Chain A
Amino acid sequence: MKSLVRNYRFSFICFLLLSFFTGLSLSAETPKRIISLAPSLTKNLYLLEAQDLLVGCTKYCRLQSETDAQVIASAIQVNYEKAILLKADLIITTDLTKTKTIDTFKKLGIEVLVFKNPKNFNEICEQFIELGAKIGKTDQAKAIITQARERVSSLTASIPIDRSRQKLFMQIGANPLFTVVPGMFMNDLIQLSACTNLASDLRMGSINLESVLLRDPEVIIVVLMGSMGMEEKMKWNKFTNLTAVKKQQIYTLGADNACSPTPLSFVDALEELIGLVYSN
């Protein structure tokens, strides 16, 4: 009888140990099928060379090949059925995604990793490393971040030290007029290019035209898609009193890189911005 009890106890301990280690190994397992609900996160997966894990994305994600993933969502609506059929084990998204959508996926048993809108370059880097760690590519992610930080350092070092900080207005919306304010990662583009954000005292991005004219920016950067950028540049040129107009320092900056919170896009945008601001 005693030996029977001992055997059961032994079996039970073995079972516990086995399930513990199995469970541990399961939680450490990297995802095999990922759905990305944000274009910037899809871009990050490509940077990490993890496109083979990508099975679903939004209509606005840029795929290198159409066969890389299936479109399962628009900007605001997700096709749950298609998502389930893809048998994803991880969904990566941003805090712009509706809470209901996130809850639904969780109820369906799919892990959801939500990234907050990064507030600065550091947060972009941290989120990139977090994503890398999640998909088992920590070293690769860290290497990319190191490279990006080095580029940022060399770019900021290239700025002429004798130049005073110029007042810069970065326009990201036309009607209504919208600008970059502290708390947006794009504010770091202005800071790192050794300029002062004209809207550094604001908390909301909407700004009236009069305020911009009175604050008299020395540099105006228009970050808008398509022909809108050139149109806005022409509109600013009408205000001949502005220092930016007098100095002919109104430029357009590529929205693709500037508005995308990925480490390499950020550095590319910074390089373009520094090139524009210090071109004279």
Chain B
Amino acid sequence: MHQNKYFTWILYIILLIVLLLFSVVLGLSIGELNVKLTDLFRMIFLGENTDSIEFTLITQVRLPRVILGLAVGGGLSLAGVILQGIYRNPLVEPFTLGISGGASLGVAATIVLGLHLTLGSFMLPLSGFAGALLIIFLVYAISMRKGVLHIQDMLLTGVMISFIASSGLMFMMAVTSTENLHGIIFWIMGSLDESDGSLIQLTLWLNLGILVISYLFVQSLNALRLGEEKAMQLGINTNVVTRILFILASLLAGICVSVAGVIGFVGLIIPHLLRMVFGTDYRILLISSFLLGGTFVILSDIMARTIISPNELPIGVITGILGGLVFIVLMSRKKTRI
């Protein structure tokens, strides 16, 4: 029975990897200039036509976007599945706790103060990450009483801090110039257009690292499905586990938002979709969320850059519309347990 289950899981993971590879190939070959699959493989694996415009497009424009899409989509989706596990609430996503609000506030402050103009554009992701960290710290500190982390309080605190961050953002937008307004609004809508290769690599490795670390807590996440008390009876130190998982998920979301802006719905829709297929076992949910999240964002990015080409849409528009529609359909068809 168990062997059958594991066998099915392996098959599904292989299927998800194939789907991811398919989206990667699509991402590399589709665009303003469509590249044939054979030409794509020749250029990448045989090193042919390396001085052509196609090679430049693939290696310097599309590949960074595809890698960042995988890292950000995977990261947001993983953060979503972990947070939904901790809170046992299907509506929680990385941005519910105000992490995106904090990052947006940090970036807006940098744009308003012009720090990106004086110190360099690296200030944008840095300030976004700092803003996200500040929110994580606030939510954590406010929800901690007598050394115990109150999970449900944490959710409420997160929502409230999210509102405060949104108001802070509106304040920034109200007092700044029209040029800055433009910058803030477009940052909020999200983009995978990042030219700094080392930042993209760092994002990917950090997110993969957190995926590996999260597997150390997979049994605890499974136990938490039964409720905090039962998990404690099973020998899980829920207080410590919850803290670590919260920090991991928040860091993931903070990293993703600071690099790519607010790309909504990924952390909500992907875990839901996978629960319908796999049930609630986190051993398969964690890795599959990462893989499908990455695939979803890569495909959304292809749509964002081709749908009104040569103009480009912000990726948040695509994930928001697609995610929202899929979510409504899923909610109307089936209710799943967390």
Q: Size of chain A's interface in residues, with CB distance under 8 A?
A: 34
Tell me if B39 counts as interface (CB < 8 A to partner A): no
How many angstroms between the C-alpha atoms of A235 and B64 in the bound complex? 14
Within 8 A of A (CB), among B281-338: 305, 308-314
How many angstroms between the C-alpha atoms of A250 and B79 in the bound complex? 42
- Find chain B residues with CB under 8 A from A231 CB: 120-121
- Find chain A residues with CB under 8 A from B186 CB: 173, 175-176
Tell me if A96 counts as interface (CB < 8 A to partner B): yes
How many angstroms between the C-alpha atoms of A231 and B123 in the bound complex? 13
How many angstroms between the C-alpha atoms of A204 and B312 in the bound complex? 9
Interface string of B44-62 (1 = CB under 8 A from A): 0000000111001100111
How many angstroms between the C-alpha atoms of A231 and B194 in the bound complex? 13
B116 near A228: Cβ-Cβ < 8 Å: yes
Tell me if A211 counts as interface (CB < 8 A to partner B): yes
Tell me if A108 counts as interface (CB < 8 A to partner B): no
B60 near A239: Cβ-Cβ < 8 Å: yes
Tell me if A177 counts as interface (CB < 8 A to partner B): yes
Q: A210-B33, A210-B61, A226-B117 are in contact. Are A235 and B195 (CB under 8 A)?
A: yes
Among candidates B117, B179, B187, B310, residue contacting A227 with C-beta atoms closer than 8 Å? B117
B181 near A175: Cβ-Cβ < 8 Å: no
Within 8 A of B (CB), among A195-233: 199, 202, 204, 206-211, 213-214, 216, 225-228, 231
B191 near A210: Cβ-Cβ < 8 Å: no
B56 near A76: Cβ-Cβ < 8 Å: no
Tell me if A12 counts as interface (CB < 8 A to partner B): no
A226 near B118: Cβ-Cβ < 8 Å: yes
A238 near B310: Cβ-Cβ < 8 Å: no
Residue of B nearest to A181 (CB): B311
Tell me if B176 counts as interface (CB < 8 A to partner A): yes
B: interface residue count bin: 35 or more
- Find chain A residues with CB under 8 A from B60 CB: 238-239
Residue of A nearest to B51 (CB): A241
Residue of A nearest to B189 (CB): A176
Tell me if B3 counts as interface (CB < 8 A to partner A): no
Interface string of B171-182 (1 = CB under 8 A from A): 001111111111
CB distance from B24 to the nearest CB of A (A): 17
The prevalent SS among residues of A at the interface is loop
A210 near B174: Cβ-Cβ < 8 Å: no
B114 near A74: Cβ-Cβ < 8 Å: no
Within 8 A of B (CB), among A229-274: 231, 235, 238-241
How many angstroms between the C-alpha atoms of A206 and B57 in the bound complex? 18
How many angstroms between the C-alpha atoms of A239 and B57 in the bound complex? 9
Highest count of chain B CB atoms <10 Å: which of A173, A210, A216: A210
Among candidates A60, A76, A175, A227, residue contacting B173 with C-beta atoms closer than 8 Å? A76
Within 8 A of B (CB), among A45-75: 59-60, 74-75
Residue of A nearest to B310 (CB): A211
B311 near A202: Cβ-Cβ < 8 Å: yes
How many angstroms between the C-alpha atoms of A199 and B174 in the bound complex? 32
Q: A76-B174, A176-B312, A227-B117 are in contact. Are A210 and B305 (CB under 8 A)?
A: yes
- Find chain B residues with CB under 8 A from A60 CB: 177
Interface string of B11-48 (1 = CB under 8 A from A): 00000000000000000000111000000000000000
- Find chain A residues with CB under 8 A from B177 CB: 59-60, 75
Within 8 A of A (CB), among B108-159: 114, 116-121
- Find chain B residues with CB under 8 A from A30 CB: none
Tell me if A174 counts as interface (CB < 8 A to partner B): yes
CB distance from B118 to the nearest CB of A (A): 6
Among candidates B33, B116, B313, residue contacting A214 with C-beta atoms closer than 8 Å? B33
- Find chain A residues with CB under 8 A from B61 CB: 209-210, 213
A208 near B117: Cβ-Cβ < 8 Å: no
5 A-B pairs besides A174-B121, A207-B312 with CB distance below 8 A are: A177-B312, A202-B311, A204-B308, A206-B311, A238-B195
The chain A residues found within 8 Å of chain B, CB to CB, are 59-60, 74-77, 96, 173-177, 199, 202, 204, 206-211, 213-214, 216, 225-228, 231, 235, 238-241
The chain B residues found within 8 Å of chain A, CB to CB, are 31-33, 51-53, 56-57, 60-62, 114, 116-121, 173-183, 186-187, 191, 193, 195, 305, 308-314
Q: List 29 A-B contacts (CB under 8 A).
A: A75-B175, A75-B177, A76-B173, A76-B174, A77-B175, A96-B178, A175-B191, A176-B186, A177-B312, A202-B310, A202-B311, A207-B311, A207-B312, A208-B310, A209-B193, A210-B32, A210-B57, A213-B53, A213-B61, A214-B33, A214-B53, A216-B53, A225-B114, A226-B118, A227-B117, A228-B116, A231-B120, A238-B195, A240-B56
